[in-house]
């Protein structure tokens, strides 16, 4: 039972492990395996997740967001604010962490004002905002962090590539919120939580440190030692809460992708396919195997990092498995509303496919 529960909860990790094992039969382990791994990406991802977990433990994001929610006056404004909070949150704390933090806030807000009928739509827009909001920064999405490191993309160029789709995503989300009626709201509930000033300052300093590591100002090993040492002293739970299956997914897909690149027939075929249209192939690949595995796999076969970046970020919309973060939202909604999973699925698919189509067409014609 525990094994089945683990597999269900970490299906992509298990698929990555199986895929790596299969390719290890085709390409027996040797010294070349050590070249498969991007240790900087793994370290940056680990320390970012660890610091974000520490901030979540003191309810930093929830408290700040709740105070902002009290400023709105109508339902449409509430939607816009929650979408913006999730959007900006994914830029700073990664898309999955943004959803884990802000989905409960959305649930709280709608239940407080008696507008639960909009819950599915709000969760879907929050999910899209988390997936697309993180595209602008190297640390906003795991696949961005990997590609930024793998191709050694200059920070300015990275932001220049992702700014147009980022702005389009903002516009589309604002349009989507216009379908919500501007019903007047009154949020009466008071909150007793207070931030710990000392821990808040400490964790924000650690977060600043992780940014310096991500942007190659400080060595990643120094960041690993400092973040781990501080959290071992002040918040060991944060280290335990890190999404280790996500790190493991990267680890196994490094093996899988590295081995495939050494199989000549596979190398030739995938390289030929990507040469036809890297953007389209990568976006469609996300619909089948998710955006993180797609980024790791296809990076071994193309030097066109611009198209690959656009593809794996835009491709996070679409099917339910296009992004690991989407499964978090679906699971949370089914937990809250057990009998409405099918309705959510079809509404999710409709809205996400519309976003995917518009973003892809714009990327082909404009970006």
Domain assignment present for 200: no
pLDDT in tens, 297-352: 899 889 999 999 999 999 999 998 888 778 778 877 887 888 888 899 999 999 99
For the residues of 46-84, what is the DSSP string, one character each? Answer: HHHHHHHHHHHHTTHHHHHHHHHHTT--BHHHHHHHHHH
pLDDT in tens, 52-64: 889 888 888 777 7
> Mean pLDDT of all residues in the chain?
86
Domain assignment present for 25: no
Torsion of CA 240, 244, 245, 251, to 10 degrees: -160
Least confident piece of the model among 138-147, 182-191, 286-295:
182-191
**Which domain covers residue 308, as residue numbers?**
59-194+243-365
Domain assignment present for 265: yes
Domain assignment present for 71: yes
Domain assignment present for 105: yes
pTM of structure: 0.78
Q: Of 123-132, 138-147, 204-213, which one has max mean pLDDT?
A: 123-132
Q: Please state the domain count of the chain.
A: 1
pLDDT in tens, 157-188: 999 999 999 999 999 999 999 998 888 766 55
E strand or H helix at 266, and its extent? helix 264-289
For the residues of 184-230, what is the DSSP string, one character each? Answer: B------------HHHHHHHHHHHHHHHHHHTTSS-HHHHHHHHHHH
Domain assignment present for 7: no
Domain assignment present for 273: yes
Q: Give the CA angle between residues 340, 341, 344 to the nearest 5°.
A: 85
Domain assignment present for 340: yes
- Sort 159 into a burial class: Cβ within 10 Å, 0-12 / 13-18 / 19+: middle
């Amino acid at each position: 039972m525990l094994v089945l529960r683990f597999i269900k909860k970490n299906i992509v990790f298990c698929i990555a492990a199986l895929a790596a094992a299969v390719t290890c039969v085709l390409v027996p382990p040797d010294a070349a395996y050590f070249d498969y791994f991007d240790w900087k990406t793994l370290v940056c991802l680990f320390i970012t997740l660890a610091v974000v977990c520490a901030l979540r433990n003191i309810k930093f994001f929830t408290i700040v967001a709740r105070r902002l929610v009290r400023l709105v006056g109508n339902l449409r404004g509430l939607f816009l604010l929650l979408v913006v909070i999730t959007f900006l949150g994914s830029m700073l704390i990664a898309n999955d962490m943004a959803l884990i933090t802000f989905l409960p806030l959305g649930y709280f807000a709608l239940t407080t004002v008696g507008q639960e009928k909009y819950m599915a739509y709000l969760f879907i827009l929050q999910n899209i905002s988390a997936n697309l909001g993180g595209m602008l920064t190297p640390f906003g999405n795991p696949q961005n962090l990997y590609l930024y490191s793998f191709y050694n993309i200059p920070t300015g160029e990275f932001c220049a590539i992702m700014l147009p789709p980022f702005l389009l995503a903002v516009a589309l989300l604002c349009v989507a919120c216009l379908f919500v009626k501007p019903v007047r709201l009154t949020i009466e509930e008071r909150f007793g939580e207070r931030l710990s000033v000392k821990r808040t300052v400490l964790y924000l300093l650690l977060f600043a440190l992780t940014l310096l590591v991500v942007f190659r100002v400080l060595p990643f090993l120094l960041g690993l030692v400092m973040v781990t040492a501080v959290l071992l002293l002040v918040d060991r739970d944060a280290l335990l809460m890190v999404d280790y299956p996500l790190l493991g997914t990267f680890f196994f897909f490094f093996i899988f992708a590295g081995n495939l690149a050494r199989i000549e027939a596979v190398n030739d075929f995938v390289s030929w396919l990507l040469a036809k249209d890297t953007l389209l192939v990568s976006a469609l690949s996300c619909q089948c195997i998710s955006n993180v595995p797609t980024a790791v796999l296809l990076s071994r076969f193309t030097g066109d990092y611009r198209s690959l970046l656009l593809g794996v970020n835009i491709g996070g919309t679409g099917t339910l498995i296009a992004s690991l973060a989407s499964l978090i939202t679906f699971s949370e909604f089914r937990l809250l509303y057990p009998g409405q999973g099918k309705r959510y699925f079809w509404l999710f698919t409709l809205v996400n496919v519309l976003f995917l189509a518009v973003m892809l067409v714009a990327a082909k014609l404009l970006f």
